[in-house]
Amino acid sequence: MKYKVSFLALTILFLSTLSAQEVKPFVKECTISSGYGYANGVENSKGGSSIFLQMDYQLSQKFSLATEFDNTVYKAPGYYSDLPISPNVQNLYDNYYSLLIKYHLPINSKLRTSLGSGWTFYTRQTEYWDYYKDPTGDRLTYRITSFSDFGIPFLLETSYPVWKNLSAGVRLKCNMNPLEGSTYSAGLGLSIEL
């Protein structure tokens, strides 16, 4: 009888301890982020602007899946050093379409930090001049060229809640492409939790 009472007392104590604990269930959430920043690109380029739009769906407490559109604008030195134009630069416009897997670092604070990588398809447009020399003289023609390629993005971003479902943060992103030149961007963004 003594053992039955002890077992019953331990069971009640164990169950009351469990019920007193706060168990926060994981809730899947969707977040839309957008922001503006600074971008730089291929060798000897002059920085420009970056605009991004990201939709993130959290799969678990540590991982989420995101799609992102990123537009960067910057300038690079011209091909021909003796062109009679000023400034002698190429205007570059890159559009990145990325699929990212993000890992959310387990930090016990309101500041959320995540690392991401994945796959990027991008298009690059270049505005520049073509320079021709022929028997009649020199000729300049303005031309726009474009090409598409794939790259590997690396992303570091932070987010801090500022009001209800609205958060603000900073982000750093590198789009790696050793053959065509990598680009970098850093910016500030706002996100809304849906």
Distance CA 153, CA 173 (A): 7
Task: Please state the pTM of the whole predicted model.
Answer: 0.76
- The domain in which residue 49 lies consists of 28-193
How many distinct structural domains can be found in the chain? 1
Encode the chain (194 residues) as per-residue pLDDT tens digits. 554 555 555 555 444 544 444 444 556 789 899 999 999 887 778 888 999 999 999 888 899 999 999 999 999 888 777 777 888 888 999 999 999 999 999 887 888 899 999 999 999 999 988 877 777 877 788 889 999 999 999 999 999 989 888 999 999 999 888 777 788 888 898 888 87
Residue 157 sits in a domain whose CATH number is: 2.40.160.20
Residue 17 lies in a domain: no
Quick one: which of 21, 93, 94, 31 has its CA closest to 57? 31
The whole-angstrom separation of Cα 50 and Cα 72 is 4
